[in-house]
Amino acid sequence: MGPSIPLLLWLLLSWSCSLQGQYPDYMAYLERQLATLEERMAQCQDQTSRHAAELRDFKNKMLPLLDVAEKEREALRIEADSISGRVDSLEREVDYLESQNPTLPCVEVDEKGTGVGPGNKSKGRRNEKYDMMTDCGYTISQVRSMKILKRFGGPTGLWTKDPLGPTEKIFVLDGTHNDTVFIFPRPRDFTLARTARKAIRVRVPFPWKGTGQLVYGGFLYYARRPPGGPGGGDKLENTLQLIKFHLANRTVVDSSVFPAEGLIPPYGLTADTYIDLAADEEGLWAVYATQEDDRHLCLAKLDPHTLGTEQQWDTPCPRENAEAAFVICGTLYVVYNTRPASRARIQCSFDASGTLSPERAALPYFPRRYGAHASLRYNPREQQLYAWDDGYQILYKLEMKKKEEEI
């Protein structure tokens, strides 16, 4: 390779000399162009090194600032953590204080004996101790878990299984005024359904009002205003007729006038419901209120076969801020909330059988949802509640304990 470079140079030189000889103008032009190029490159280099220097300066200035920003961010994060920790512990404290506060619980064992209730003109025994028919003797200790199943229908409604039914059918009553019950063959069909298109529809002869209906043993139990002049003034005003409707045969099999006058919506926060029907291990119950004592709830035990009222009680549970209720083992549990909706809580219970003592009654909160319960249906077999919360269908699993402390 060695000898080839001088050779190349010599060739180039002689070529350029001969070029210069041949095209002197062109060569001069090329040289000028080269000079300009060189100048520009020099300028460019100059600029680049200046930019590099500026960038270095900038970086040197920014580095400490970045450091500060990073430290501030970390401090903010720590502060946010500690604030949310403090909020959590505050909420726990409030929960604790509320659970310690002796004025809130209004559990009362029914010991009044006979004939104490205001007015006794209604049929059936009033305010007498209830004799249990089953041996169930437990009470709620807490709401163990919540499962949001889906969102279906409007903000208010009712969904339930038949607590007596051998089937897994899901019954859905959407809205506070309608006449069509949707029946899904299995829970899966309901969870997967996006609309009620595939559901079996059963139309009831009279539209329901409110969310107090009950599916029990293949029947839909619900209330309606008895036919009578809307002019008012007659004795039937503010009374309700109970209807027993066979869902498979689609026939009304029985009806009766509920033996209480001057009915008013029992729950302060659920205005459309005039009578709330409930099922437990013992059978059928009704929660209602009358003008006679417009501050507290009444409870009645119904005969599911005849729709007759067997017994009635005046409970100490206030109507104010009540949103729903249910019955377990002969004990009424009333759920309270606020408007606008906040955390729901069982704040009052009334044991018709007189077994549950106030010290033994838990007053649990529902898991945090900030919704309003339009209805709560208890299923004794599953020991869970079917809740309709602002259009969401929710299952609450309950944890139970014995009503009486074991000695």
Ligand X SMILES: *[C@@H]1O[C@H](CO)[C@@H](O)[C@H](O)[C@H]1NC(C)=O
Among 112, 150, 225, 246, binds ligand X (CB under 6 A): 246
**Helix, strand, coil percentages for the chain (3-state, nearest 5):** 25, 35, 40
Q: Which of 390, 366, 329, 349 is nearest to 106 (CA)?
A: 349
- In one letter, which amino acid is 386? Y
**Contact mark string toward ligand X, 132..151, x via CB under 6 A:** --------------------
The least distance separating ligand X from the CB of residue 150, rounded to whole angstroms, comes to 17
Question: In this chain, which of 31, 46, 72, 179 binds ligand X, going by CB under 6 A?
Answer: 179
Of 40, 77, 147, 177, which lies in the binding site for ligand X, with binding defined by CB under 6 A?
177
**180 lines the binding site for ligand X (CB under 6 A):** yes
Q: Does 155 bind ligand X (CB under 6 A)?
A: no
| Residue 122 in contact with ligand X, rule: CB under 6 A | no
Give the list of residues 6+ apart from residue 180 with CB closer than 8 angstroms, or none: 201, 202, 203, 204
C-alpha 167/C-alpha 161 separation (Å) is 8
Q: Can residue 306 be called a binding residue for ligand X (CB under 6 A)?
A: no
Q: Tell me if 116 contacts ligand X by CB under 6 A.
A: no
The owner of tokens 């041949």 is: 22
Q: Which of 24, 85, 115, 118 binds ligand X (CB under 6 A)?
A: 115
Which span sits near ligand X by CB under 6 A: 77-85, 172-180, 295-303, 311-319? Answer: 172-180
Which region, judged by CB under 6 A, interacts with ligand X, from 26-34, 170-178, 284-292, 387-395? Answer: 170-178
Residue by residue, DSSP assigns 41-84 as: HHHHHHHHHHHHHHHHHHHHHHHHHHHHHHHHHHHHHHHHHHHH
**Spatial separation of the C-alpha atoms in residues 287 and 285, rounded to whole Å:** 7
> Which amino acid would we find at residue 254?
D
State the minimum distance, in angstroms, from the CB of residue 149 to ligand X: 20
Could you tell me the smallest distance in angstroms from the CB atom of residue 179 to ligand X?
4
Asked if 249 interacts with ligand X (CB under 6 A), we say yes
Q: Can residue 46 be called a binding residue for ligand X (CB under 6 A)?
A: no
Instruction: State yes or no: cis peptide before 364, omega within 30 of 0.
Output: no
205 belongs to the binding site for ligand X (CB under 6 A): no
In the complex, what is the shortest distance from the CB of residue 329 to ligand X, in angstroms, rounded to a whole number?
26
Q: For ligand X, give the closer residue by CB, 18 or 251.
A: 251
| Nearer of residues 219 and 267 to ligand X, judged by Cβ | 219
What's the rounded Cα separation, in Å, for the pair 227 and 225? Answer: 6
CB 202 within 8 A of CB 146: no
- Alpha-carbon separation of residue 83 from 74, 88, 96, 117, 342 (angstroms): 14, 9, 20, 51, 21
Residue 178 binds to ligand X (criterion: CB under 6 A): yes
Contacts of 26 (CB under 8 A, 6+ apart): 19
Q: Is 201 in the site for ligand X (CB under 6 A)?
A: no
Q: Is 255 in the site for ligand X (CB under 6 A)?
A: no
Asked if residue 207 binds ligand X (CB under 6 A), the reply is yes
- In whole angstroms, what is the distance from residue 299 CA to residue 173 CA? 23
Position 85 contacts ligand X (CB under 6 A): no
Q: Which residues sit at the interface with ligand X, rule CB under 6 A?
A: 114-115, 120, 175, 177-180, 207, 246, 249, 251, 253
